[in-house]
Amino acid sequence: SNFSRSHQHEVQSKICSPPLPIPGIDRYLISSTKTRHCNFSCARSRTERKMGRVTKKVTRKHRKKLHKLLQLLDSSSESDVSSLESTGTDSDSDAPLSKHPTQVPDPGSSQDQGVQNILQFLGNQASAIKRPEVSTDVAALISEFLLKGIDKESRKTTLESYPCLANCPALQPPVINPEVRSCLSTNAVKEDTFLTKLQLQLASGISALAVGFDKQYEITKSNSTDETRADLERCCAPLKIIADVFHAISLHHRYSILPFLDGNVRKFSDTCPIDEFLFGKTFPDQWKSASEAQRLGFSIKKK
């Protein structure tokens, strides 16, 4: 019994006793902890340095923009102050101080005043342009044409009433070159038809205006005065505007076709003027010459 009790006590002491220390385990744990802490600190410092550089760049840009804006506002406010001082009278300066109570200047008031001056200046510039007015009936009629258009029969009748000028072939919409047309898709051909119809309508309007312009030109040629020249200029202005729209449609038409062509053609097309053909009547010959010159350049280039 004594042996069994002593044996049980020995077993319990072994179970409850702490584990034996492993040699070097403390130094390993301490060194690994220090290494992780060092790596984390280095990564954090690198990140902070990067963020600091980015923040400095951003703040520099913001400071420059704010500095320019403040200079503009200060200059406008200084001009206002100088104008007020120049218009002041001696009676104002001799007045008692009680009539002019001192106020603490607000730093933002000068900037707000400068902004108001800038906006007022822009508003005055816009209001200085006086637009003409017509009667309300005429304005309503033009608005209806612009918003709803005209029906097919009215369009046909109007175009027949004002045919294109016989001695001005440039009023005819330019035709797509045959060699280019063969490269187009069905939708591109449909767009060509649509743009051609638009240009025919513009050509009819240009012809109608040109008749009145021609009459005024004859009057000015026979009696050239300031008044007749001013009338001639007023007749010419609508012609220039509509003719420029006609030309812009031709340019848009050509640029919409370029994606169907070779990349070299896109660069080359800018040198081809528009005439009765969209890419110019000399386009085939010029393209052949350019292609031959390019092949010759490749052949003589040093290998």
pLDDT tens, per residue, the chain with 303 residues: 544 555 555 555 555 555 555 555 555 455 555 555 555 556 666 666 655 664 555 566 666 766 666 666 566 555 544 444 444 444 444 444 444 444 544 555 666 676 677 666 666 655 566 788 999 999 999 999 999 999 999 999 999 999 999 999 999 999 999 888 988 999 999 999 999 999 999 999 999 999 999 999 999 999 889 999 999 999 999 999 999 999 999 999 999 998 888 877 777 777 788 999 999 888 878 767 666 656 656 666 666
Q: How many other CB atoms are found less than 10 A from the CB of residue 253?
A: 22
Residue 79 lies in a domain: no
pLDDT value at residue 99: 43
The rounded distance, in Å, linking the Cα atoms of 77 and 85 is: 12
Q: Domain range spanning residue 199?
A: 138-300
Three-point CA angle 89, 90, 91, nearest 5°? 90
Asked whether residue 234 is assigned to any structural domain, the reply reads yes
**Is there a domain that residue 23 lies in?**
no
* CA pair distance 248, 84, nearest whole angstrom: 51
d(CA 246, CA 201): 10
Place of tokens 């009696």: 223
Which residue, 151, 241, 243, 239, is CA-closest to 199?
243
DSSP 93-147: HTS-GGGS---PPPHHHHHHHHHHHHHHHHHHHHHTSPPP---HHHHHHHHHHHH
Quick one: pLDDT at residue 136? 93
Amino acid at 298: F
Q: What pLDDT score was predicted for residue 209?
A: 95
Contact 227, 257 (CB under 8 A): no
| 124 found inside a domain | no
Tally of domains in the chain: 1
Query: From CA 233, how far away is CA 216, in angstroms rounded?
Result: 9
What is the pLDDT at residue 188?
Answer: 92
Q: Is residue 97 part of a domain?
A: no
- Is 75 part of a structural domain of the chain? no
pLDDT score recorded for residue 36: 56
- pLDDT at residue 102, as a whole number: 47
Residues 6+ apart with CB under 8 A from 180: 257, 261, 278, 279, 283
- pTM beyond 0.75: no
Rounded CA separation 291/122 (Å): 54
Domain for residue 32, yes or no?
no
Burial of 176 (0-12, 13-18, 19+ CB in 10 A): buried
Q: What per-residue string of b and e applies to 128-147 under the rule 16 or more CB within 10 Å gives b?
A: eeeeeeeeeeeeeeeeeeee
Name residues whose C-beta falls within 8 Å of residue 249's C-beta, 6 or more positions apart in sequence: 195, 198, 199, 202
In a domain, 281, yes or no: yes
